[in-house]
Structure 1
Amino acid sequence: MASRQSLSHLKLEAEIERCRAECQWERIPGLVRQWNPKAQESTDDFANLLLAEALLELCLRENVAKLKDSIPLVASKEPKLQEAKNYLTGILNRGKLLPKHITEALLIMGKLHYMEGSYRDAVSMYARAGIDDISLDDEPLYLMRLMTEAFLIKGLSLERSTATIASRARLSEREEEAIACFEKASCIGQVYLQELEKSTNSAHTRGSKGSSPSHDFELGYFLEAALQCAYAAHFKRGNVLKGIKELRDVLRVVETKATQNFKMAASKQLAEVLLHSLSENCYWSPLKAPQPELHNKDAHSFPNNILSLKPQTHTGDNLYCPQDNIEEALLLLLISESMANRDAVISRAPEQKEDRAVSLQNASAVYDLLTITMARRGQYAMLSECLERAMKLAFGEFHLWYQLALSMISCGKFAYAVSVLKECCKLCPSDPTIPLLAAKVCIGPLHWLEEGECFAKLVTEMGEGAGDFLAKGFLALGLVYSLQASEATQKCAQDDLSKKALQALQRAHELDPEDPQIILYLSLQLGLVRQISKATEHIQEALKLRKDDLHSLHLLALLLSAQKQYQHAIDVIDMALSEYPENFGDCEKESSLAEAPLTRKHSGMFLAVPDAHDPENGSQRASSIAASRLEQAMSEITMHSSTQRQGPMQQWVTLEHIWLLAAELFMEQQELKEAGFCLHEAGSLFPTSHTVLYMRGRLAEMKGCLEEAKQLYDEALAVNPDGGKIMHSLGLVLTRLERKSLAEKVLRDAVRMQSTSHEAWNGLGQVLQEEGKHEAAGECFLTALDLEASSPICPFTVIPREL
C-alpha cells in the first residue's frame, strides 16, 4: 500500500514539474491539492511555493499590456499578486525549504518585485540567489525557464535603475552588465525552448497513460522578451553591427513551434535594419568572419559555467549565402512572407476580426518591405507573384490590391493590371488617380481604346471631386478619341472623332492652361486636322513652359516641315539632338529633312522608314500590334538556335531600323548591291518583318523585277493588312503590270486607310488617269496637292500619344 502511494506521489511530482516547464498554470492548484489535500490549511512551504508561482503567472497573463507599457502593478489592486507575495514572504521568512527550493523562491520573488516596479529589490533578490553561479546541467526544465527570466529581469532592472548614476564610467559598466544578462537570457531561453519541444514530442510519442494530452505552448511575455532584448539593446545603443550579429545568431538557431511567429518578426526586423541602417560597404556575409569590433563578443556570449548545452543551429554543406545586404534582406523577407501566408487568418467570422487584423498588419508590413527590396533590383515579376499570394488576405484591402496592380504594370502584365485596377476603383471610387492609371495602361501598351475611354470618363464624371486631376481626365479622353480617329476607316467617323478629341483637349487646356503635356497634345491634334498655324502657336507655348521636352521639339520640327521651312526644322532637330544625343528617332528625322528639298524635285523618295510605334502612321493600331507580335513569334521560330538574340528587344528593333535606313540611303544613291547587303542584315534579325519585306519589294522594283516585287508586297501585306504604304507601292506595281482594275482597288484601300496621305491620293489619281477616268483622277490630284501643302516630312502620328 505504501509503495502504491509512493508511486502515485512520484507521478504527481513529475506532472507538476511538467506543468511548470510547459507553463500550464491553471492545472497547478488542482495538482497541489492532489499532492497535499491540506496544502492551503497548513504551512507546507513547497505547496505554497507552487501556488505562489501559479498565482503570479496567472496575474502576469492578465496584465501583459501593463507590463509592455512599463506600468507597475499594485498588489492592493491585484488579489493574485498580493496572495503570491504573502506566500513567498512567508516561505523566505521561515527558510524551512531545501536550498534549491529557496533559490526558486528567490527567483520568483525577484520577478514579483519587477512586476511591482521595485527594480533594485529585484536585483538584490537575484544577488541573494547567486544566479551567476547556478548550474543548470541535469536540472529540470522549469529551472531553465526561471533562470532565463531571471537574467532578463536583472538586465531590465539594471537598465531602468541607471537614472541615479552620475558617473559616465559607472553608467557604461551598468549598460555592459545589462547586455551581458540579456545575452545569457537569450542563450538559455533558446536551449530551454528546444529541450522543451523535444520533451513534449517524446511524451507525445510514448503516449504514456499518466500524462495529460500535450497542449500548444506559446511564448510568454518574458520568454519572448528574452529572445529579443540582446539585439534590441545593441540597436538601442547604436551598435548596429553587434545587433545584426546577435540577431543573425538568434535566427540561425533551429526554430521550435513556439518560436515560429517570433522568427517571422525577427526576420522582418533584420531585413529592415539591413535595408535602412547598413550600407553595402559595411556588409559582411553571414558565413564570413565578423567585423573586427565583434571578435571580443563571443568570449562571454554563452554562459558555459551555467549550461554546457548549446542551442542547436542550422548547419550543412553547400548552403546558399547572400553576397550583399539586399540579397540577405530579400531572403529574410521571403521566409517571413512564407510564414505570414501559412499562418494567415482568412476567416471572416466576427470573433476572429481582431486576429484577422493582426495577421493582415503583419503581412502588409512584410509585403511593403518586399516591394522596397525587389524594386531596388528591378524584380517586379517576382514581386507580382508574391503579391498574388497575398490576395487571400486582401479582401477589401485597397493597399495590397494597388501594390499588386503597380507591380504588374512594372513587369509588363498589363492586362492583369487593368483587371486589378478595376477592383481598386471599386474599393476607392473617389480617387481619380486609379482610373487615370488604368486609362494610361489601356491607351499605351494595351491599346484598349474602349476600356481607356470608360476609365477616362470615370474621372471626367467626378467633376470638381476629381480636383486637379480633372484636366488629366479630359486629356486621357482626348487621346482616346484621337487614336480612335486614326483607326477609323470611314471619313465621317474620322471627322467626328477628331472633333471630339479637339473638344476634350481644349477643355483640358481650359482647366489647366499651364500643363505642357496638355498643350503638346492639343497642338498635335490641331496638326492632325491640318490646322498648322494654330498648332505651331500652341507648341511654342508648350516649349516656353518646358524648353527641353523631346516630343514638343519633335512636333515643332514636323510642323515647320509641314510649312516647308526645312532649314528651321533642321535647326530644331539639331537642338533636340544636343539635349538627347541618344535619341535615334531625331537622327532619322534630320536625315529625312536633309533629303527633302532634293527628293521632292525628282524621285519623290525620302527616308520614311517607320518609327518604333506604328509602322505606317505612328499610332499603335490594333492590327499593327498584332502584326508586330506575329513577326516576333515567326522570327523566333525561323531563327536558328545558335543565333538567339540576347538582351532587350528594343535594341534589336533599333538595330533593324538602322540597317533599313542604311538600305534606304543606298537605294536613294542607286547603290543597289549595298542596299541588298543592308536588307540581308535586317532580315537576319527579323526574317518575317513586314517592313523588311516591304523594303525588299522596293529593291526588287528598282531592279525591274516587278513580279518579285509584287510577291514581296503581298507577303508584307499578309503580315500587316492595314499597311497603307505597302498598299500604295503594291498598287503602283500592279499598274506597271497592266492590272489596272486591281491596282485601283488596292489604292482605294490605301486612301481609305490613310486619308491624309498625299502619296496615296496621287497614286490613285495616276491609275484613274491611265484608265481614262480623267475627272476622278483630277479630283485625286487636287486632293493630293492640297494635302501635300500641309504634309510634314513624317506623319504627325509618329509622336506617341500616351499619358
Structure 2
Amino acid sequence: MTSRSKNAVRSYETEIEKSREESNWKKAVELALQLKARSPQHESLAHFLIGEGKLEAYLDEWPPIKENIDRAQRELSEARGYLTLATDEAGKKAGVALDAHLLLGKLNFACGVFDDALKHYKLAELDTLTEKELPVRSLRIVAESYAIKGLCLEQTALPGSSSRYKQAEREAEMIRSFEVSSELSLLYLQRAGGSSAGAGATLETALQRAPLLHIRAGRLQAAIDRYREMLTAVESVSTQSLRLTLARQLAEVLMRGVTGQVYKAPQKTSSPQQLQGTLSRRRDEHVSEGPWKPKKYAGINQFVPRNEYEEVVLLLLVGEAMAVRDAVLSQSAEFEAAREHSLQNAVAVVDLLALASVRWGQLALVLESLERAMKFSFGCAHIWRQRALATAAAARCPAAAPALLPAAPAALHPGTPAWNATVRALCVSRRSAPLLKDDAALRLLAANTCYRAGWIEEGMELADAALAIEEARGGWLLARCYLYCGVGRQMKAQKTNSRMEKESENEASLRMLLKSVELDDNDHLAFYHLALQYMHVGMLNEAMDATRACLAARAECGGGLRLATALWASACAGVRGSRALAAARLAHHHYPAAEWPLFSLAALQLVWESGEAALATGKELLKLLHGEADDEPAPYAELDARSDSLHDDTHSNRDAASIRAESAGAYRMERALSEGASSLSARKPKSPLAEQKAHAWLLLADLCLRLDRVGAAAGCVSEAAALTPFSHLVLYTRGLVHAASAEWDEARQCFQNALAIHPTHLDSLVQLGATYYSLGWLRLAERTLREAGSLQPTRADTWRRLALVLAALGEPAAAADAAAAALALHPISGEPLPL
C-alpha cells in the first residue's frame, strides 16, 4: 500500500512538472490540489504549485503593466495566500520557500508594490545564488526575478540626500540585474526550444533594457558589446523575433553614435577545439562560458565585420531577411493585427537599410530589399513611396550626364538599361500615386523622370497634378510646382512644330517661371530656367538679369555659368569677349570633369584668342572624354542644367512648305543611313561616351576649318563618323569640309543627307541654300533660305545669305529688305555659339 502511494505521488510530480514546462497552469493547479488531498506531507509543495499556477495563469491574460495594477491587487490575493503559506518552516524544509519568495516578488511587482518585491528578493538572497544547472522552469523564474529586481530599482528612487556614490551603486546594481537576466533568458529560450510560448513581456524588456541604460550613462561601447553578446547567442525558435529587434537597435546605435575613429570591431568567438589547434568537422561549434551563460556561435569560417559600415549593412540585411520571412501574407481580417505588426517590423528595417545603403552608395541593396517587400506590402503607401524614390534615383544613375530638369531630354533608346530603369521608375510612381493622393513631391519626382526621358506630355500632366495639390492646401512646394510646370511647357515649346502652339507654350512657360521666382527668390534652378526661357524668346537683357540672379543664389551653378558664357559671347565687343572667356574658365574650374565648359572655351578662344589655343582646348576635351570612358558619370551632372544645342535642333514648322517631296525625302534618308551602315560591319562595338567623343571630334573639325586646315578637319570628321555613323551632325560637318574645298556637289549631297535624317536641322538648311547659291541654282537657294527663315525668323545669317541670292536674281528691293532684316537682327542673334 505504501509503495502504491509513493508511485502515485511520483506520477503526480511528473505530470505537474510537465504541465509547468508547457505553461499549462490550469492542469497544474488541478494536479496540485489532487496531490494535496492524496499526500498531506506534500502540503507545502502543493501550496507553492497552486499559488504559482494561479499567478502565472493570471499574468498570461493580464501582463504586469501599469494599467493592470488595480486588477492585480484584487485578483491575486488568493495566489498571494498560497505562496505565503509556502514560505513557512515546512516550506523551507520542502525546498520551495526560495522559489515562493521569488514568485512573491513577481506578484508584488504586478500589484505595483515595488518595495515589497525587493524585500522578497532580499529574503531569497537572489544576489548570492550559486550558478549551477537548473531545470527549465527554474531558469525562467530566476531570469524573471533578476529582470523584475532591475525594474523595481528603476521605479524606486533614492532619497534626494543620497550621495553620488549610492546613486552610482544603485545604477550598477540595476544594470547587473538586467545583464544577468538577459543571459538567463537567452539560456532559458535555448533550452526551452519550441515548447515555450516565448520570452514574455518581462524578459523581453530586460533583454533590451541593459544596453539602453549603458547608452543613457554615456557608455556607448558597453551598450554595443551588450548587443553583440546577445546577438551571438545561438538562435532558437523563441528568439527569432527578439533577434530582429536587437539587430535593428544595434544598427541604429552604430549609425547614430559610432564613427571610424571610435569603432571597435567585434571579437571572433573561438571554440575549445580551435583554441587547442584542432579543426572541427562540424559546421558550427556552440560554446558556453558557464552554467548561467547562453551558448554562442563559434565557427571556423565565421564572418567578422571590419568596420561600422560592414556591421550595419550585415545587421540590416539579416534583420530584413528575418522580417520578410515572418511577414504575414494573408489578407484575412483575422490576421489583421499580426499582419500590421509584421509590416511595421519590416518597414522599420527597410527604412534603416535605405538610410545606410544610400549613404554609402549601395542603391542596389535598397532596390532588392524593396522588391522583396512587395510581396507583403499590398496597399502600403509608405513602401510604395520608398520604392518610387529608389527607382527614380536608379533611373538617374545610368544616364550619361542628365541634369536636374534639363532643357531638353537626353536620348534614351528602347531596350537599353537607362530606358528600362526610366520606364520602371515611371510605372512605380504611377502605381504609388493613388495610394498617396496628397503627395505633391512624388508627382514632381515622376514629372522629373518623364522630362529626362523626353515624355513631355506625361511630365506636364504629373506636374499639373502636383500644382493642383499644393494650390489647394497652400503647401511649401508651390514654387517648385510652378517651376516644373514651366519647364514642361518650355520643353514642349522647343519640340512643337506649330508656330502658334510654340508661342502659346512659351508664354505659359514664362508666366509660370516668373511665378516660381516670385514665390521663391532664392531658387537658382528657377532663375536658370527663367533665363533660358528669355533666351528662347530673344529677350537677352532680361536673360542676363535672370542669369545674374541665378549665380547670386548659387555661384557654382553650372547652368548659370553656361548661360553667362553664351550671353557674353552673343556680342562682338572685346570686353564682353573677355567676360565670356572668364565665365567659361570659371565653369571649367568648378566642373573639371565636365566637357561642356571646354566646348564653349574652345569656340570662344578661336574668336578672341588664337586658333592654336582653341585646338589645345579641343585636345584637352578629347583627353578628358577618353579618360572618363570607363568611369561612372561625373558628380557634377546632378548639379548643373544642360542645353540640347549639341544634340538636337528643335526648330521646325509643319506649316511651312517643304522643299522636298515625301518620296525624295524617304529616298535620301535611306541613302544616308545606308552610307553610315556601309562601314558599320567592320567597326568595333560602340564605345562608352561615343556621342560625346564624336561631338568633340566635330568641334575639332570646325576649329580646323576656321584655321584653313581642311585635311585635318576631314580626318576629325572620319573619327566622329566611326563613333556615330548615323548622326546628322557628322554629315553636316562633312558637308562643310567639302564646301571648304569648293566641292559643291559633294557638299550638297552631304547637307541633303543630313536633312533626310533630321529635316529641321537649321544649320544644314542654311548651308544647303548657300551651296545652291555657289552652284548657281538660285531659285532653289531662295526657296531653301526662305524655309530656313520661316523656321527661325530671328537668325541673321539666313537673311544675309538670302539678300545675296535675291541680288543675284536681280531683285534689288527684296534684297534690300532681307539685308535690312539681317542688320536689324544681328545685335540680337548673330552667329550661334555652341553650348
Conserved 8 A contact 2:212-2:223: yes
Deviations 1:271-314 (A, max 9, x none): 00001111111112224699xxxxxxxxxxx996654xx53333
- State whether structure 2 residue 433 is matched by structure 1 residue 438: no
Q: 1:188 to 1:759 in 2, by over 3 A?
A: same
After TM superposition, list the pairs within 5 Å mapping 1:147-546 onto structure 2: 147-161=142-156, 163-164=158-159, 166-197=162-193, 200=194, 217-287=197-267, 306-307=291-292, 310-345=293-328, 347-392=330-375, 394-412=377-395, 413-443=421-451, 445-461=452-468, 463=471, 465-467=473-475, 469-508=477-516, 517-536=525-544, 539=547
Of the structure 1 ranges 445-454 and 690-699, higher mean CA displacement relative to structure 2 is found in 690-699
- Partners of 1:245 and 1:491 lie apart in 2 by 71
> Relative to structure 1, is the Cα distance of residues 514 and 410 closer, same or farther in structure 2, using a 3 angstrom cutoff?
closer
Structure 2 residue identity aligned to 1:180: R
- Paired letter, 1:239: R
Q: Does the C-alpha gap of structure 1 residues 692 and 183 become closer, same or farther in structure 2, counting only changes over 3 Å? A: farther
Tell me the secondary structure at the aligned position of residue 199 of structure 2: coil
DSSP-derived class of the 1:272 partner: helix
CA contact (8 A) 1:152 1:182 kept: yes
CA distance in 1, matches of 2:566, 2:390: 37
User: Per-residue CA shift, 1:747-798, capped at 9, x if unaligned?
Assistant: 78766765654556667787898899999988877766655442155469x5
Q: Which residue matches 2:599?
A: 588
CA distance in 2, matches of 1:8, 1:724: 107
Q: Deviation digits for residues 48-95 of structure 1, max 9, x if unmatched? A: 21221122123323443x53x5x794687332x211110011111242
CA contact (8 A) 1:690 1:715 kept: yes
Q: Distance in 2 between matches of 1:177 and 1:664?
A: 83
- In the TM superposition, 1:40-119 aligns within 5 A as 44-64=43-63, 67=65, 69=66, 73=69, 77-79=73-75, 81-96=76-91, 98-119=93-114
| Cα shift readout 1:224-248 (whole Å, capped 9, x = no counterpart) | 2343333333223221111111111
Contact 1:558 1:569 in 2 (8 A): no
The answer on whether the counterparts of 1:381 and 1:408 sit within 8 Å (CA) in structure 2 is no
Structure 2: distance between partners of 1:76 and 1:503: 70
Equivalent residue letter for 2:90: G
Aligned-partner residue type, residue 93 of structure 1: D
Q: Which residue does the alignment assign to 1:628?
A: none
Q: Secondary structure at the match of 2:297?
A: coil
Cα distance in 1, alignment partners of residues 310 and 651 from structure 2:
39
Letter in 2 for 1:671: R
Q: TM-score under structure 1 normalisation?
A: 0.77
Residues 644 and 523 of structure 1, relative CA distance in 2, 3 Å threshold: closer
Hey, what does 2:703 align to over in structure 1? 665
State the Cα distance separating 1:23 from its structure 2 match: 2.8
The one-letter amino acid paired with 1:179 is: I
Distance 1:576 1:686 in 2: 27
Q: What is the Cα deviation at residue 377 of structure 1? A: 0.9
Measured on the aligned residues, the alpha-carbon RMSD in Å equals 4.7
Cα distance in 2 between the residues matched to 1:776 and 1:4: 133
Q: Provide the rounded CA distance (Å) in 2 between the counterparts of 1:725 and 1:472.
A: 35
Q: Note the C-alpha offset of 1:707.
A: 7.4
2:317 counterpart letter in structure 1: L
CA distance in 2, matches of 1:345, 1:466: 39
Q: Measured at CA, do residues 513 and 253 of structure 1 come closer, stay the same or move farther in structure 2, by a change above 3 Å?
A: closer
What is the distance in 2 between the residues matched to 1:36 and 1:740? 125
Q: Distance in 2 between matches of 1:759 and 1:637?
A: 40
Q: Is the 8 A contact 2:694 2:720 kept in 1?
A: yes
Go from structure 1 to structure 2 and tell me whether the alpha carbon gap of 1:488 and 1:144 turns closer, same or farther (over 3 Å shift). Answer: same
Distance 2:190 2:481 in 1: 61
Maintained 8 Å contact 2:45/2:91:
no
Aligned to 2:828: 790
Shift of 1:545: 6.4
Query: Offset at 1:692?
Result: 5.0
Aligned equivalents of 1:287, 1:694: Cα separation in 2 = 67
Structure 2 gap segments, 5+ residues each:
271-286, 396-420, 611-616, 623-641, 653-676
Distance in 1 between residues matched to 2:72 and 2:226, nearest whole Å: 40
* Deviation of the 1:343 alpha carbon: 2.2
Counterpart of 1:588, as a letter, is: F
Cross-structure match for 2:29: 29
Asked if 2 retains the 8 angstrom alpha-carbon contact of 1:28 and 1:54, the reply is: yes
TM-score (norm 2): 0.74
Contact conserved, 2:603 with 2:833, CA < 8 A, in 1? no
Q: Secondary structure at the match of 2:261?
A: helix
Q: Deviations over 1:630-680 (max 9, x none)?
A: xxx999998858x975xxx5xx76666555433432332223455466556
CA contact (8 A) 2:569 2:580 kept: no
Tell me if structure 2 keeps the 8 A contact 1:573–1:586. no
Q: How big is the shift at 1:709?
A: 6.2
How far off its partner does 1:370 sit?
Answer: 1.9
Q: 1:559 to 1:139 in 2, by over 3 A?
A: closer
**Distance change >3 Å, CA 278–CA 26, structure 1 → 2:** farther
- Asked if 2 retains the 8 angstrom alpha-carbon contact of 1:21 and 1:145, the reply is no
Cα distance change on mapping 1:751 and 1:114 into 2, 3 Å: same
Q: Which moved more, 1:776-785 or 1:169-178?
A: 776-785
Distance 2:526 2:772 in 1: 44
Give SS of 2:462's match: helix
Alignment deviations for residues 689-746 of structure 1 (CA, whole Å, 9 cap, x no partner): 6545654554455456677767776776677665443455566667778999998898
* Distance (whole Å) between structure 1 residues aligned to residue 530 and residue 586 of structure 2: 26
Cα pair distance change 1:472/1:114, threshold 3 Å: closer
Counterpart residue identity of residue 74, structure 2? E
Q: Percent identity?
A: 30
The answer for the alignment partner of 1:570 in structure 2 is 578
Deviates more, 1:18-27 or 1:690-699: 690-699
**Post-superposition offset of 1:515:** 6.0
Q: Deviations over 1:370-416 (max 9, x none)?
A: 22211211223332332343345555544333332222222224443
